[in-house]
Amino acid sequence: MTLDLETRFTRTPLGFFPSPVHPLKRLSKALGINLWAKRDDVSSGLAFGGNKVRKLEWLASEAIAQGCDTLVSIGNIQSNHTRQVAAVAAALGMKCRLVQEAWTKWEDPAYEQVGNILLSRLMGATTVLEGEGYSTEIKETWQRALEEVRREGGKPYAIPAGASDHPLGGLGYASFADEVVRQEAEHDIFFDTVITATCTGSTQGGMIAGFHGQQRPRRLIGIDTACNESMTRAAVTKSARQTAELIGLSGEVRDEDVIIDPRFAGPDYGLPDEATLSAIRMGAQMEAMLTDPVYEGKSLAGLIAMARSGEIAPGSNVLYVHLGGAPALNAYHRAFE
């Protein structure tokens, strides 16, 4: 069963889809599994792309239909998401206001100047540095930014953190599930295990909904990067159920369908541990695949650990979903000294 979402919802093309899928031969040999990567990190020409472009295609259509002129969103100072919102605004000729909260205690004066936030500023976004602490709750700082746009005579379009807590937030990754099935058929393979970073919820939530409608069961493991398993689980479950209902899937998304592994989140959101840094080096040196300390380095660390321990059985066909984030590496240069 395919979802055929584009005949039922409006999408503004912003990415290069389907994103590539390819074998990671050296990592496969080192880990004893048949490992492939799905490269959403290279699936758009908008400012280094990433997973949020896939989501924002669906939100952008609604923003245009509503006659909005300013995209307003929120994230960490080094947010991949806000950088992609800035990119979409630039591509659509809209203004952009970004609340950049301090969700990470990373002691480096360059942290607020380089990486994602530099790119957002280059693309013309107004960046508001205030607020702190990661949470999936609606933040007062974001609500204040929306009101400021209204007071200035603009018409804002509200995009929550990660484009997640939004009625359309899961559509991009529900559609992703169809993409995977088509590519499996092309390559004559079935991925019994899929590994993704998970945080604000709609990436994994959309995947759960999308895979839910397919006939062959597979294990989708979300590696928590928020260092808050309960918050992540609640966000993913909400997104999965909301998306499943929106696209009209029969059968309830059960609690057991939401697999969150909290072991590789490091000391806190945005802070890498040695396993994360080791995974980043391994991916770079064996496959020239760049991952970041906030999200993909942690999901890759989880994959490596599970393969080495046998939790992912030897010989398994594993899909690693690369969600982007490499621009943040510059902000974490001290971690690699």
- Helix, strand, coil percentages (3-state) for the chain, rounded to 5, are 45, 15, 40
Average pLDDT over residues 166-191: 96
Residues 38 and 75 in one domain: no
List the Cα angle 149/328/61 in 5-degree steps.
40
Residues 131 and 210 in one domain: no
User: Cα–chain-centroid distance for residue 207?
Assistant: 11
Residues 205 and 142 in one domain: no
Give pLDDT tens digits for 238-296.
Answer: 999 999 999 998 788 999 999 999 999 999 999 999 999 999 999 999 999 999 999 99
Residues 262 and 200 in one domain: yes
For residue 275, the tally of other CB atoms under 10 A from its CB is 18
List the Cα angle 184/189/193 in 5-degree steps.
90
Give pLDDT tens digits for 283-335.
Answer: 999 999 999 999 999 999 999 999 999 999 999 999 999 999 999 999 999 99
Residues 285 and 313 in one domain: yes
pLDDT category at 2 given cuts 50, 70, 90 is low
Residues 75 and 98 in one domain: yes
Residues 228 and 331 in one domain: yes
Residues 97 and 223 in one domain: no
* pLDDT above 90 (res 149): yes
Residue type, 72: V
56 domain-assigned: no
Query: What residue numbers bound the domain in which 158 lies?
Result: 67-163
Average pLDDT over residues 51-80: 97
Q: Would you say 22 and 39 are in contact if contact means Cβ atoms under 8 Å apart? A: yes
307 membership: H or E segment, kind and range:
helix 296-309
Average pLDDT over residues 140-163: 96
Burial of 208 from C-beta contacts in 10 A (0-12 / 13-18 / 19+): buried
Of the residues 163, 183, 208, the one at which a domain ends: 163
What's the pTM?
0.96
90 domain-assigned: yes
* pLDDT at residue 252, as a whole number: 87
Residues 206 and 79 in one domain: no
Q: Would you say 207 and 194 are in contact if contact means Cβ atoms under 8 Å apart? A: yes
79 included as an active-site residue: yes
136 domain-assigned: yes
Q: CA 249, CA 261: separation in Å to the nearest integer?
A: 26
* Strand ordering across the sheet containing 156-159: 126-128, 95-101, 70-76, 156-159
Q: Would you say 291 and 279 are in contact if contact means Cβ atoms under 8 Å apart? A: yes
Residues 130 and 255 in one domain: no
151-182: string of b/e by CB count within 10 Å (b at 16+)?
eeebebbbbbbbbbbbebbbbbbbbbbbbbbe
Q: Which of 43, 79, 120, 175 is catalytic?
A: 79
Give pLDDT tens digits for 164-178.
Answer: 999 999 999 999 999
299-330: string of b/e by CB count within 10 Å (b at 16+)?
bbbbbbbbbeeeebeeebbbbbbbbbbbbbbe
Count the domains in the chain: 2
Of the residues 163, 198, 216, the one at which a domain ends: 163
Residues 22 and 144 in one domain: no
Residues 174 and 313 in one domain: yes
* Strand 34-39, strand 21-23: pairing: antiparallel
54 domain-assigned: no
- Both tokens of 69, joined, read 């002129």
60 domain-assigned: no
* pLDDT at residue 261, as a whole number: 98
CATH number at residue 100: 3.40.50.1100
Phi and psi at 60, nearest 5°, equal -60, -40
Of the residues 163, 183, 198, the one at which a domain ends: 163
* pLDDT at residue 76, as a whole number: 96
* pLDDT at residue 1, as a whole number: 56
Give pLDDT tens digits for 254-265.
Answer: 999 999 999 999
pLDDT category at 7 given cuts 50, 70, 90 is confident
